């Protein structure tokens, strides 16, 4: 199954490690360092130019970790994920 995270981008649900609120997550220095490293290593993917609301950390099988920045709220993404998993 796939989760639509905004701007016509979907990622496999099995690859998702976590979905985080960007405002809460970026208050910690360790998270800011993690995001900076992800950006430097080409693992950070901005889904759109809209105001970011969530971070989705994923690890595709056989590939490097990816961090998506999405304009969708974490509650919206979690609701979609729960709906997918019910089917």
Tell me what pLDDT residue 34 has.
95
Tell me what pLDDT residue 86 has.
86
pLDDT string in tens for the chain (87-residue length): 999 999 999 999 999 999 999 999 999 999 999 999 999 999 999 999 999 999 999 998 888 899 999 999 999 999 999 999 887
Structural domain boundaries in the chain: 2-86
Closest CA to 67 of 81, 75, 78, 55: 55
SS3 of residue 55 by DSSP: strand
Tell me what pLDDT residue 30 has.
94
Handedness of CA 40, 46, 51, 57 (dihedral sign): negative
């Amino acid at each position: 199954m796939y989760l639509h995270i905004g701007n016509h981008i979907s990622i496999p649900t099995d690859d998702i490690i976590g979905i985080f609120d960007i405002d809460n997550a970026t208050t910690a220095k360790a998270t800011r360092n993690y995001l900076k490293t992800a950006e430097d290593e080409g693992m950070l993917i901005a889904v759109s130019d809209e105001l970011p609301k969530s971070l989705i950390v994923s690890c595709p099988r056989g590939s490097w970790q990816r961090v998506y920045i999405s304009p969708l709220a974490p509650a919206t993404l979690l609701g979609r994920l729960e709906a997918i998993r019910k089917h």
